[in-house]
């Protein structure tokens, strides 16, 4: 194989890549050494702003195959027939830590999936938990600030973490998930994924349904104890990345089975609790899981920066037959996710290969901007409507319209008959085995006992008491014992 020629960014051959040009053998470096200056300047700019959340991630390509007929619920073309396959890209991630953080930590995991459909890209942005900490996006920056590094100490502070949760009783359900046995997945392959939010499906007849997505791992759920996780981090801080990469390279392709819960839209208004509250699950007895298909990952990215770090997901990337619901957290994310990528990657980030449509073409009037690669021909106009056969609207809505009424203003979500911040957390606790409860109590007490303010501890204990009397009693006793040591 002939040796390739090293060149500058402009394509000129490089004569010497080992020694800088100097004024004489021992003299100072010359500013005319264009190759040196270009290398240093480029190196200084190699990093882009990391994600504020979900910074540490891994990704893979694969496909989604439909196994069951769901055309009665959605007209989405990529779900239109059994056996249909759609190329996908997935990004797994931790939430709170920075890009250099470890994988095996107690933290929710991002589960962001891009379907390259022939009607455009569909992004499903979820987590490995079916619920979340808060229900209104106006609190999201505050929540994340409380979980990230303190501006004074430069580290994550138990006082901040638990103080926020003390003022967010709706977080009790997710805290119970996070501190339980599934709080530290053994790998990305051995955890479930959830859309978490409520979405809308619309069928060809225009009938609307609300759905929740459940990706069940076919490898089985495996998790780590706090002690096992600490040992894993010490051995390999990139343990989840290592596992995913090596499994796919060996041909051991991980897979998940997608199920959905389906609620006819007309039932939402009178459901016993708010079905759009992301801090709650829909009981399977009310809306059983219905199988849709399987997700298989079979190819690693060739370049982590180009494909994993630059992958951009936004829950407002819908396709016909799928749309949003009144879920307030989802509504906030419809803006925030896309805006985050415009900041990190620029206005033309959708033209990057990992983000660009693969089964169709983007055809619109967006032009110019940093890193633009799509210009159109000399006959194309950059305005609409026009008389030059430019792309035109279809007039067909992606999903069914949502009815609205009432006065504008900063409203709390309307109460349903059994809305409650603690009941489902208590139900989750009561489902646990004795050993699971022991570990949950130890995990919560280990963090809560480090809080320095008694009133913050008392507010959090009140949440656990409200969820279940035994739950609260045991957490209180465990915290007291640790603080007395």
Q: Which pLDDT tens digit goes with each residue over 78-125?
A: 999 999 999 999 999 999 999 889 999 999 999 999 999 999 999 999
**pLDDT per residue over 2-25, tens digit each?**
899 999 998 989 999 999 999 999
Residue-level pLDDT at 255: 98
Comparing 50-59, 287-296, 396-405, the range with the smallest average pLDDT is 396-405
Q: What is the tens place of the pLDDT at every residue in 30-88?
A: 999 999 999 999 999 999 999 999 999 999 999 999 999 999 999 999 999 999 999 99
pLDDT of 376 above 80? no
- 198: alpha, beta or left? (left if phi > 0; alpha if psi -120 to 50): beta
Q: Which of 270, 274, 290 is nearest to 282 (CA)?
A: 274
Q: Which of 193-197, 335-339, 365-369, 478-482 has the lowest mean pLDDT?
A: 365-369
Confidence (pLDDT) at 366: 84
pTM: 0.94
Give me the half-sphere count of Cα atoms (radius 13 Å) on the Cβ side of residue 173: 20
Catalytic option among 127, 192, 300, 355: 127
Active-site annotation holds for 54: yes
| 415 Cβ contact list (under 8 Å, min separation 6) | 274
Q: What is the rounded average pLDDT of the residues 326-348?
A: 94
Indicate which residue of 17, 35, 44, 54 is catalytic: 54
Query: Structure tokens of 307?
Result: 């494909």
Band the pLDDT of 323: cuts 50, 70, 90. Answer: very high
Question: Over 80: is that where the pLDDT of 377 sits?
Answer: no
pLDDT reported for residue 18: 94
């Amino acid at each position: 194989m002939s040796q390739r020629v090293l060149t500058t960014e402009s394509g000129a051959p490089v004569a010497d890549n080992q020694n800088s040009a100097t004024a004489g053998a021992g003299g100072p470096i010359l500013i005319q050494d264009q190759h040196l200056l270009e290398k240093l300047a480029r190196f200084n700019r190699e990093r882009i702003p990391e994600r504020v959340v979900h910074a540490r991630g891994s990704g893979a390509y694969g496909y989604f195959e439909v196994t069951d007929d769901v055309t009665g619920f959605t007209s989405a073309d990529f779900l239109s027939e059994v056996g249909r396959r759609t190329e996908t890209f997935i990004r797994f991630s931790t939430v709170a830590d920075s890009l250099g953080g470890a994988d095996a930590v107690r933290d929710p995991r991002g589960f962001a999936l891009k379907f390259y459909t022939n009607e455009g890209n569909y992004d499903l942005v979820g987590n490995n938990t079916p619920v979340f900490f808060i229900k209104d996006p106006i609190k999201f920056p505050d929540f994340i600030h409380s979980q990230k590094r303190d501006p004074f100490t430069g580290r994550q502070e138990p006082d901040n973490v638990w103080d926020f949760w003390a003022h967010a009783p709706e977080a009790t359900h997710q805290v119970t998930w996070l501190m339980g046995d599934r709080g530290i997945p053994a790998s990305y392959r051995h955890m479930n994924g959830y859309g978490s939010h409520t979405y809308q499906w619309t069928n060809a007849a225009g009938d609307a349904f609300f759905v929740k997505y459940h990706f069940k791992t076919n490898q089985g759920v495996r998790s780590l104890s706090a002690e096992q996780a600490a040992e894993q981090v010490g051995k390999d801080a990139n343990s989840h990345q290592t596992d995913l990469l090596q499994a796919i390279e060996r041909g051991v392709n991980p897979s998940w089975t997608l199920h959905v819960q389906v609620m006819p839209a007309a039932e939402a208004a009178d459901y016993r609790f708010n079905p759009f509250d992301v801090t709650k699950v829909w009981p399977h007895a009310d809306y059983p899981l219905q199988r849709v298909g399987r997700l298989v990952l079979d190819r690693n990215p060739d370049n982590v920066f180009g494909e994993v770090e630059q992958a951009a997901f936004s829950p407002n990337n819908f396709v016909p037959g799928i749309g949003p619901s009144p879920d307030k957290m989802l509504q906030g994310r419809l803006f925030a996710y896309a805006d985050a990528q415009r900041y990190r990657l620029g206005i033309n980030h959708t033209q990057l290969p990992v983000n660009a449509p693969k089964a169709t073409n983007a055809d619109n009037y967006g032009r110019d901007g940093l890193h633009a690669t799509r210009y159109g021909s000399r006959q194309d106009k950059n305005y609409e409507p026009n008389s030059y056969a430019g792309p035109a609207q279809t007039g067909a809505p992606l999903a069914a319209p949502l009815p609205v009424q009432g006065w504008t203003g900063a409203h709390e979500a309307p109460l349903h008959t059994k809305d409650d911040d603690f009941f489902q957390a208590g139900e989750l606790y009561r489902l646990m085995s004795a050993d699971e409860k022991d570990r949950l109590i130890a995990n919560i007490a280990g963090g809560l006992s480090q809080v320095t303010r008694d009133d913050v501890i008392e507010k959090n204990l009140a949440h656990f008491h409200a969820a279940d009397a035994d739950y609260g009693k045991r957490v209180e006793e465990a915290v007291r014992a640790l603080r007395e040591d």
